[in-house]
Structure 1
């Protein structure tokens, strides 16, 4: 599995379960990100949306429960999600599927069974999500194939430009500061010039042509992706 470089976000309120899952899944070649509550799960996802391939999502998260996290994710993403529910909680399972879950597993569970479910969901979703896209008017961003179309024509983006546009489009009408963008795209240990964000925004606007106006400058704060649809 390591050759495919899959990344899983483990969002569970129980620290011991997170640690157990992280250790087990890393041992089977997966990269792991963790979150202990609903707010953190969304923050980690939005900061790494172009890298995460699947989410293990506990129903009983604090701050924002798993169902609400899933609903928000489904507004912009088809990321595969396996819900983790309490023992024999059929209502939770049914609600999870209604919210858009791809599968579920009940506590307590066997790590071996969970691994099989993860492999199955990733296989099932790989074709379905191969060209899942974000749309804003004539802008189409193909998340898995990692390219952009503008008015039906493919536009070549660098990896950083693609990651930056993904981050902006998955946080529509939200002001994102330069530091937030640096942390999300260049990672927390970035020590270069923070104005590199401005440079990449300028390059993106140029490639977006008339749609460059969708990336608004919020003076004194940062940037916002603002497209008013139909």
Structure 2
């Protein structure tokens, strides 16, 4: 069965153009023109990805993202016509996985959506990766800390899987960005910093296992 993508955009022309590209790639598409309609569709259908505009009638994109994150870790790709850094950082703090600044070409939006739906290519022979009290199960995309569930967003999961899969290896910021978002990523490394900060917050007492290596990048260290 093809995956279902929910497009939340109040401009009908943009919705239709985006839908056409996604349908041509074999995806099923749901459309919402405002925040309330988006939440209703999300509750009624099994959605694999949400493409979410920030400026919406009824409920804005931030409010929609906040409400969805209370119950789901579905990947969220935010659209914004603003260039204000605070807008994108707020989206990440609320749990968005990636963002695209409008206007953008449909092929670029499609590539970013595919990246979130398919995830980076992995070559781990194990289904579960362990790092002290942290356990990451790749098939179910679930994480536990001291046996308790740790709810991560799509992007937070990918960052942890990358670091945990090569414990002790230093990944530069550029390497992590390429692995998580791909070679065609358009943005800056503040996006990565925001996700790392959110990930550490969720790991609680084990946040220090994600180590910042000054002027180099990040690595995962076992607790002694």
Shorter-chain TM band? 0.5 to 0.7
Q: Does 1:25 align with 2:34?
A: no
Q: Which runs of 5+ in 2 are unaligned?
A: 123-136, 143-148, 150-224
Match of 1:39 among 26, 36, 40: 36
Per the normalisation by structure 1, the TM-score is: 0.52
The within-5 A match list for 1:4-83 is 5-48=2-45, 51-83=46-78
Report the CA distance between 1:13 and its aligned residue: 0.9
Q: How many residues align?
A: 129
* 1:190-212 Cα shifts (integer Å, max 9, x gaps): xxxxxxxxxxxxxxxxxxxxxxx
Question: In structure 2, the residue corresponding to 1:79 is in which secondary structure?
Answer: coil
Question: In structure 2, the residue corresponding to 1:76 is in which secondary structure?
Answer: coil
Query: Residues 5 and 87 (structure 1 numbering): CA distance in 2 closer, same or farther, change over 3 Å?
Result: same
Which of these two proteins has the greater Rg computed from alpha carbons?
1
Provide the rounded CA distance (Å) in 1 between the counterparts of 2:28 and 2:139. Answer: 20
Calculate the aligned-residue CA RMSD, in Å: 2.3
Query: Residues 78 and 126 (structure 1 numbering): CA distance in 2 closer, same or farther, change over 3 Å?
Result: farther
The within-5 A match list for 1:69-218 is 69-124=64-119, 131=140
Per the normalisation by structure 2, the TM-score is: 0.53
Provide the rounded CA distance (Å) in 2 between the counterparts of 1:14 and 1:129. Answer: 37
Provide the rounded CA distance (Å) in 1 between the counterparts of 2:69 and 2:14. Answer: 25
